[in-house]
């Protein structure tokens, strides 16, 4: 999915672990429950002492020989007596390091720790667990509008990473076996799972491979093992775009400002397909001037990324209208700001996962059919198919592409406006879990932000994780989650 992100990832924080001695007796008690390799630490942005450590696993779990990986782990001990199984957080991407979410669970998400430990593990290939990060080809501001996976970039990335990793050994199944090693190491019998975006696939894989160790499962923005990322990116995004623009046209102010917004979008993309346009961009902060080439595919992909968040998507009608009149500055302002927002993602891990589990099973004819009459086209499918031709294809088990079935308690949380994992996918997954339920949030997209009463989602998840059966969880608060207003004009710049 490569665009993630959960409620706990709204602010990107680079975790720098600073270990020290514990001062509080409560911390001493918490530390005594865990392996001595876990030491007190204070990640950046966290004002309390947590527990940090590394668990060494073999890169090749089959042979148990050769290179090893030190899995980076942060444990946030429970507040009060432990009454619940620990919660293992699984982040999205694939490629996002999970330990950055320590800030969330130590601050606004602290309620999750009432009576339960929170465990964060950087999946192999991410964060500080032998990260498969690739150096960009260029540091120029214009790279924000480069192709997603230029051939030279992919080839160079592979060459660099193969000096420190077997790129075929970074799949979801292997990572979930690592996760179970962490469970055993920390002394837990059962664990609850909170999967977000790609993490929902990982959670289901864990349930299938370690059924006796899985407790309750929450999936936010759910994708199954067989959905072949990014085969459905274009039709799912078109669906979400249509919903958004329909909502704009149903809004008095938005309709008055952009009465022909759907036609403007279609004509703009067609115009850029016929001939890319060049915009002279002046950075008001630095004074630098850049010539930015704007192509249809990259323009549409940036819009698709904005659809992940209701907060960001409310700008889309304004951005499109201005671009249709030849003013690309609103678009470029936002592209430049967002250029580094996914820099924490591991491109190498993303390719190792999708080139093994998804892309080889994409039918070209089906991809063309799904993207027909679609402003997003086959861009993502083309980019990733070409990238995987220059990447290592890892092995997956024969059962991987089969739907996961289980009787563990499951709660799926989906947003109506989700452009990548629509509610219909959650319906499919729930159908195969005997004790499952889906709750759809009418105002949400993929990321649960940009709406009022956002704590509704956490309250629902906590009710379920604290023992309320999925079918008894009260979801009435979803009706009070409302998006902010559409952007009609840029706010005045302060002088």
CATH of the domain at 108: 3.40.50.1820
Average pLDDT, the chain: 91
**DSSP assignments along 1-21, one per residue:** ------GGGSS-------B--
Give yes or no: residues 89 and 206 share one domain: yes
Give yes or no: residues 217 and 244 share one domain: no
**DSSP assignments along 382-410, one per residue:** HHHHHHHHTS------TTTTSPP-B-S-E
* Res. 58: pLDDT tops 60: yes
What is residue 339's predicted lDDT score, i.e. its pLDDT? 55
* Res. 411: pLDDT tops 80: yes
Decide: pTM greater than 0.85.
yes
What is residue 344's predicted lDDT score, i.e. its pLDDT? 73
| Separation CA 18–CA 36 (nearest Å) | 17
DSSP assigned state of 472: G
Give yes or no: residues 21 and 124 share one domain: yes
What is residue 490's predicted lDDT score, i.e. its pLDDT? 87
**Considering the domain boundaries, does residue 264 fall inside one?**
yes
Give yes or no: residues 69 and 173 share one domain: yes
Domain end (from 297, 322, 338): 338
What confidence category does residue 22 fall into, taking pLDDT thresholds of 50, 70 and 90?
A: very low
Contact predicate 417/313, CB 8 Å: yes
| Residues whose CB falls within 8 Å of the CB of residue 247, separated by 6 or more in sequence, listed in order | 254
Percent of residues, the chain, with pLDDT higher than 90: 83
Give yes or no: residues 271 and 189 share one domain: no
| Separation CA 192–CA 257 (nearest Å) | 48
- Among 19-28, 273-282, 336-345, 454-463, the minimum mean pLDDT is found in 19-28
What is residue 408's predicted lDDT score, i.e. its pLDDT? 98
Domain end (from 282, 306, 338): 338
* Res. 186: pLDDT tops 80: yes
Give yes or no: residues 263 and 323 share one domain: yes
Give yes or no: residues 96 and 114 share one domain: yes
Distances (CA, A) of 472 to 136, 384, 436: 49, 42, 11
Give yes or no: residues 300 and 441 share one domain: no
Domain holding 319, by residue range, is 233-338
What is residue 282's predicted lDDT score, i.e. its pLDDT? 78
Domain end (from 315, 338, 361): 338
* Pairing mode of beta strands 50-58, 68-76: antiparallel
Give yes or no: residues 32 and 120 share one domain: yes
* Res. 337: pLDDT tops 90: no
Give yes or no: residues 187 and 287 share one domain: no
What is residue 373's predicted lDDT score, i.e. its pLDDT? 87
**Considering the domain boundaries, does residue 389 fall inside one?**
no
User: Which pLDDT tens digit goes with each residue over 89-123?
Assistant: 999 999 999 999 999 999 999 999 999 999 999 99
* Res. 299: pLDDT tops 90: yes
What is residue 1's predicted lDDT score, i.e. its pLDDT? 60
**Considering the domain boundaries, does residue 70 fall inside one?**
yes
**Considering the domain boundaries, does residue 371 fall inside one?**
no
Give yes or no: residues 12 and 30 share one domain: yes
Closest CA to 132 of 119, 122, 140: 122
| Separation CA 280–CA 278 (nearest Å) | 7
| Separation CA 303–CA 330 (nearest Å) | 12
DSSP-assigned beta bridge partners for residue 366 = none
Q: What is the dihedral of CA 439, 440, 442, 446, to 10 degrees?
A: 120
| Number of domains present in the structure of the chain | 2
Q: How many CB atoms lie within 10 A of CB 492?
A: 6
Give yes or no: residues 188 and 62 share one domain: yes
């Amino acid at each position: 999915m490569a665009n993630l992100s959960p409620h706990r990832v709204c602010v990107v924080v680079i975790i720098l672990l600073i270990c020290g001695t514990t001062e509080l007796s409560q911390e001493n008690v918490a530390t005594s429950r865990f392996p001595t390799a876990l030491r007190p630490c204070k990640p950046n942005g966290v004002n309390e002492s947590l527990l940090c450590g590394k668990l060494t696993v073999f890169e090749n779990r089959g042979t148990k020989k050769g290179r090893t990986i030190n899995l980076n782990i942060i444990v946030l001990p429970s507040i009060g007596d432990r009454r619940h199984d620990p919660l293992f957080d699984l982040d999205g991407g694939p490629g996002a390091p999970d330990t950055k979410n320590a800030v969330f669970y130590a601050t606004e998400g602290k309620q999750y720790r009432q009576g339960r430990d929170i465990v964060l593990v950087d999946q192999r290939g991410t964060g500080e667990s032998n990260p498969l990060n690739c150096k960009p080809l260029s540091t120029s501001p214009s790279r924000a509008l480069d192709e997603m996976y230029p051939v030279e970039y992919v080839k160079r990335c592979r060459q660099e990473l193969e000096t420190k990793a077997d790129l075929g050994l970074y799949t979801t199944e292997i990572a979930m076996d690592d996760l179970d090693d962490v469970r055993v190491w920390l002394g837990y019998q059962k664990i609850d799972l909170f999967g977000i975006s790609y993490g929902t696939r990982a959670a289901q894989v864990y349930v299938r491979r370690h059924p006796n160790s899985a407790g309750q499962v929450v999936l936010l923005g759910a994708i199954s093992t067989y959905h072949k990322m990014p085969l459905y990116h274009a039709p799912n995004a078109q669906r979400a775009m249509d919903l958004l623009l329909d909502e704009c046209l149903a809004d008095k102010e938005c309709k008055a400002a952009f009465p022909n917004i759907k036609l403007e979008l279609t004509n703009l993309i067609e115009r850029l397909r016929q001939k890319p346009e060049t915009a002279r961009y002046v950075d008001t902060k630095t004074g630098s001037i850049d010539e930015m080439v704007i192509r249809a595919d990259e323009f549409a992909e940036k819009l698709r990324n904005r659809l992940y968040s209701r907060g960001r998507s409310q700008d889309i009608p304004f951005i499109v209208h201005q671009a249709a009149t030849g003013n690309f500055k609103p678009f470029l302002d936002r592209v430049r700001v967002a250029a580094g927002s996914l820099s924490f993602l591991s491109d190498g891990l993303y390719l190792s996962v999708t080139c093994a589990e998804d892309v080889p099973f994409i039918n070209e004819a089906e991809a063309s059919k799904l993207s027909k009459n679609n402003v997003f086209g086959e861009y993502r499918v083309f980019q990733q198919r070409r990238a995987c031709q220059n990447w290592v294809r890892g092995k997956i088990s024969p059962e991987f592409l089969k739907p996961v079935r289980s009787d563990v308690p499951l709660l799926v949380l989906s947003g109506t406006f989700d452009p990548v994992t629509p509610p219909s996918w959650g319906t499919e997954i729930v159908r195969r879990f005997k004790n499952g339920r889906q709750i759809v949030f009418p105002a949400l997209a993929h990321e649960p932000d940009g709406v009022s009463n956002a704590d509704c989602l956490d309250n629902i998840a906590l009710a379920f994780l604290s023992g309320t059966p999925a079918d008894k969880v009260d979801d009435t608060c979803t009706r009070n989650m409302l998006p902010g207003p559409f952007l009609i004009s840029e706010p005045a710049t302060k002088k």
